[in-house]
Amino acid sequence: MDRKIGQLSQNTAESAPMIARPAMSMGAAGSRPAFLYVSIRDLLSRKISSGELPPGTVLKEAPVAGQLGVSRAPVRRALALLAEAGLIFEAGGQGFKVGQAAPVQLPLRQLHQILTGEPEEIDRSPSWERIFDEVREEITAAMPFGSWRIQEAALGDHFHVSRTVAREVLWRLMDRRLVDKDSKSHWIVGQMTARDLRETLEMRALMEPAALVQVLPGLDRAWLARLEARVAALIRAFPQVEPQALDQIDQAMFQEMFAGLRNSRLLASIRRNQISLVVPHLFRHHFPLTDDLAALLDYARILHHLGRDEAEAAQVLMRSHLLRIGRLTLARLRVLSLLPPPRRVTWLIPAHQGGL
Amino acid sequence: MTDTVLRVIGTPATLTPELRARAAADLPFGIQFEVLDGLDCQRRGVMAPESFDVYDQWFHSLDLLWTAASIRPIDTTRLARWDEVTIAGTRPGANGRQPGSWPGSLLYAQSDRSLAATPQPGAAPQISMLPTTYNVDSFVWTPDMSALRRAEEAESWAWLLDGRWHGRAALAADPAASVVELALAARAAGLVDIADPGDLTIEEIDALFAVLMPLRRSGHFTRFWATSDDAVRLMTPQGSGGGPVISALWSPAYYAMRAMGRDLHYAVPGEGYRGWHSGLCLSAALSGERLEMAYAWLNWWLDGVPGAIMARQGYYMSVVQPLRDTLTPAEWAFWYAGEPACEDLAGSDGQIVVRRGERREGGSYQDRVARIAVWSTIMPEHNYLIRRWREFLGD
């Protein structure tokens, strides 16, 4: 079986159209990163540069997470970023190792001392912001696979935050229509249905072209030009492109694009109706990217006109793109039903009885 | 003779022992058959295109494979009999919206990779799946049931849900067939309002299962069968105690039981039949020698012998003339023309499945096809439906 069964959560934890924007992740605490994975990445990077973690040291997700008292997901992400930066390398199924030297397993006690030698090495302050994107990502990844109940207390435990913070996150997700409360006041993630997709895509086709005209005057031209160049590069390289790169383009086209909307109600409505972005995101991590080329070509045309201040042409193209992808998105949802459900997380439990 | 082997995956409905034996004798290369049940076959088709060369299954799964980019378009110029291919008696490309997955609606690949009912203008047609065999299905009922049935009571899908034979009704496990049958049944019984049994809304799905779950829990249904052989086993229980008296059934199972001498009625429900269509797809991973072999396999399928093997288990074929030339006049008269058998007729395995004087239920193939109420389908709300269905099966 060549297709990536059972890797859903791994893939989705690392990048997504609806995930954090690292560049904007600075929290309220001054220079302290708002996201746990950034803190962990910085910590490990410091320890590698200082030589405390010598070349060859094996770094595995579970022991690092255990010693730091955090969940595995942010560690996984931090390790991936360090690998991308060339500080650590895959150690053949043994996690990662520092530099190119032969792998060395540090005793756990020593690893503990190195990682937690200084107080406040990493930011573990309770903050809904810090975990919001990760929770959202887990939830959206589970949506095509049934209805789920969220256990508030387990969610808090999982992320080492208080129940108040967990609740804060869930209220905000409810505002995005990603979670709901049932008649017994349980937090519920409803199954994504074909109707949800059809209706939200109709809403998107009404709102996003209109929003495009509103944001165009304020859009950073350099940002637009860079985005256009990225899309062009992907079209040239297609199909030799990474799914993550396509996820990032989707995020730029439909999320960053509208971030400057002055009409906050319009912006909120747009965000509430973008669940259809989850489908190509999940799909392209398991299946060939074949049908994403047509989307890239649509984006290239839209960006071309935006770059020339031709708002109306861009608007028409955006609308026709959103109408075009309807049938494909519904077909992809049916295909997703053949995948095994994502890895279980303790705080998300299947809610039987489909019609909640 | 080459060492390369063509890998065909499909279900027992078409990959019968007779077809496999004949293919091995007729074709100049080796063929490896992998016979799976319908749902496993679909999963393989979607998840592992490298693991097969030809996919032989139902049209309603086509959209899954195409969307997952598991299959490649078929060049019709490489099909010697393409001009003779008809879908369930209709010319390909002829329009006609029919409930469920009408095979013609997704036949032609377009340059933007969408599928349509008509070819892309300006070039030789590229198709997503080669239509091969098809049939119309309903259910079977036994003499045990006749005793409980009112005289002259018309055959209806509603019988599947009827409490008079509580505990003795059976269904297929594949929701693409069973859910449309149950939708027809619940609508005919006046239990659920359903606008289109081939495209249920969320509310209709919930309403349908609100009827089905209590029936299931109270033991109305015996069990759910996966293949024709499985259905035959279910319908012929060992020892004392009766098996189901009513069951959704495919024609190979019906004729297999007729060969055993079982007295059974294949129903012509007032609400109409459920239609289905099979076809062949080429794996996206095919190239070179294997691709040539795959086209040879497709062409062989249209040549008459496979169609005749299918006809002797009650199936129809997309290319008629070579099949008609292969069947005896007596076989053609019974299976296709709907006339009384003028002699005993054997099934593909040589057993007598039709006795002289018997007439096929529903009449000629034109008459039977004209009574299709809905095609087997993977509905738009499949993703929602499948979870309700698994719950219903008791997973």
pLDDT per residue over B76-134, tens digit each?
A: 999 999 999 988 766 544 445 677 888 888 899 998 899 998 999 988 999 999 999 99
SS3 call for A234: helix
Q: What is the pLDDT of residue A121?
A: 57
Q: Give yes or no for A237 touching B (CB within 8 A).
A: no
Torsion angle (degrees, nearest 10) of CA B206, B212, B214, B215? 170
| E runs forming strands in chain B | 5-10, 30-35, 54-58, 71-72, 74-75, 108-109, 115-116, 126-127, 130-141, 169-172, 221-225, 246-249, 265-266, 273-283, 316-317, 345-346, 352-354, 372-375
pLDDT per residue over B174-220, tens digit each?
A: 999 999 999 999 999 999 999 999 999 999 999 999 999 999 999 99
pLDDT per residue over B139-178, tens digit each?
A: 999 988 888 888 889 999 999 999 999 999 999 999 999 9
pLDDT per residue over A248-287, tens digit each?
A: 999 999 999 999 999 999 999 999 899 899 899 989 988 9
Contacts of B68 in chain A (CB under 8 A): 287-288, 335
Cis omega (within 30 of 0) for bond into B214? no
CB atoms within 10 A of CB A13: 23
pLDDT per residue over B322-380, tens digit each?
A: 999 999 999 999 999 999 999 999 998 899 999 999 999 999 999 999 999 999 999 99
Q: What is the pLDDT of residue A341?
A: 76
Is B50's CB within 8 Å of A330's CB? no
Q: What is the pLDDT of residue A36?
A: 75
Strand partners, B169: B221, B246
Closest Cβ–Cβ partner in B63, B113, B205 for A291: B113
**CB A246 within 8 Å of CB A284:** yes
CB atoms within 10 A of CB B110: 14
CB atoms within 10 A of CB A242: 13
Q: Give yes or no for B229 touching A (CB within 8 A).
A: no
**Nearest chain B Cα distance for residue A146, angstroms:** 7
Whole-Å CA distances, A209 to A228, A258, B84: 18, 11, 47
pLDDT at A95 over 60: yes
Q: What is the pLDDT of residue B135?
A: 96
Q: For residue A274, what are its two tokens?
A: 């973008």
Among B residues 90-129, those touching chain A with beta carbons less than 8 Å apart: 112-114
* Helix locations, B27-61, DSSP H: 38-47
Q: CA-to-CA distance for B219 and A165, rounded, in angstroms? A: 47
Whole-Å CA distances, B12 to A309, B49, B229: 60, 20, 8
Q: What is the pLDDT of residue A127?
A: 62
Q: Give yes or no for B382 touching A (CB within 8 A).
A: yes
**Nearest chain B Cα distance for residue A335, angstroms:** 5
Is B48's CB within 8 Å of A3's CB? yes
Backbone angles phi, psi at B319, to 5 degrees: -115, 120
* Helix locations, B140-287, DSSP H: 143-146, 175-188, 202-217, 228-235, 251-259
| Strand B273-283 with B372-375, pairing | parallel
Query: pLDDT band at residue A25, thresholds of 50, 70 and 90?
Result: very low
Q: Is B5-134+276-325's fold the same as B135-273+379-393's?
A: yes
Contacts of B201 in chain A (CB under 8 A): 195
pLDDT at A29 over 60: no
Q: CA-to-CA distance for B25 and A9, rounded, in angstroms? A: 49
Query: pLDDT band at residue A120, thresholds of 50, 70 and 90?
Result: low
**Nearest chain A Cα distance for residue B141, angstroms:** 32
Sorted by where each starts, the structural domains of chain A and their CATH numbers stand as 35-116 (1.10.10.10), 128-192+339-350 (1.10.10), 194-336 (1.20.120)
* More confident call, A20 vs A148: A148
Give chain A's mean pLDDT.
84
Residues above pLDDT 70, as percent of chain B:
96
* Side-chain-facing half-sphere of B217: CA atoms under 13 Å: 7
CB atoms within 10 A of CB B3: 7
Q: Give yes or no for A330 touching B (CB within 8 A).
A: yes
- Average pLDDT in the A87-99 region? 87
pLDDT at A21 over 50: no
Q: CA-to-CA distance for B233 and B238, rounded, in angstroms? A: 9
pLDDT at A114 over 70: yes
- Average pLDDT in the A20-25 region? 32
Domain boundaries, chain B: 5-134+276-325, 135-273+379-393
| Strand B221-225 with B108-109, pairing | unpaired
User: Which amino acid, residue B38?
Assistant: G
Query: pLDDT band at residue A352, thresholds of 50, 70 and 90?
Result: low
Query: pLDDT band at residue A177, thresholds of 50, 70 and 90?
Result: confident
Mutate to test the interface with B, among A337, A339, A353 (most CBs of B within 10 A): A337
How far does Cα B192 stand from its chain's mean position? 26
Is B47's CB within 8 Å of A5's CB? yes
* More confident call, A52 vs B130: B130
Q: What is the pLDDT of residue A118?
A: 66
Q: What is the pLDDT of residue A340?
A: 80
Q: CA-to-CA distance for A123 and A269, rounded, in angstroms? A: 33
Q: What is the pLDDT of residue B204?
A: 97
pLDDT at A132 over 90: no
Closest among B104, B93, B61 to B379, alpha carbons compared: B61
Strands ordered across the beta sheet of B115-116:
B74-75, B126-127, B108-109, B115-116
- Average pLDDT in the A65-91 region? 86
Handedness of CA B101, B102, B108, B114 (dihedral sign): negative
- Average pLDDT in the B54-73 region? 95
CATH, range B5-134+276-325: 3.40.190.10
Q: For residue A299, what are its two tokens?
A: 């984006």
- The class (CATH top level) of B135-273+379-393 is alpha beta
Whole-Å CA distances, A177 to A55, A103, A131, A196, A315: 47, 47, 18, 11, 26
pLDDT at A353 over 70: no
Range of A155-159, B6-10, B103-107, B259-263 with top mean pLDDT: B6-10
Contacts of B382 in chain A (CB under 8 A): 194, 334, 337
pLDDT per residue over B245-268, tens digit each?
A: 999 999 999 999 999 999 999 999
Closest Cβ–Cβ partner in B64, B66, B383 for A194: B383
Q: Give yes or no for B43 touching A (CB within 8 A).
A: yes
Q: What is the pLDDT of residue B107?
A: 93
Q: What is the pLDDT of residue A354?
A: 42
Strand partners, B374: B274
The angle subtended at Cα A247 by Cα A242 and Cα A248, nearest 5°, is: 100
Is A338's CB within 8 Å of B206's CB? no
* More confident call, A222 vs B89: A222
The residue in chain B having the minimum alpha-carbon distance to the alpha carbon of residue A330 is: B380
Whole-Å CA distances, B197 to A330, A334, B259, B342, B377: 19, 18, 33, 38, 10
* More confident call, B331 vs A191: B331
- Average pLDDT in the A287-316 region? 96
**Nearest chain A Cα distance for residue B178, angstroms:** 18
Is B380's CB within 8 Å of A191's CB? no
Q: Give yes or no for B358 touching A (CB within 8 A).
A: no
Contacts of A194 in chain B (CB under 8 A): 380-384
Q: What is the pLDDT of residue B241?
A: 65
Q: For residue A209, what are its two tokens?
A: 């072209």
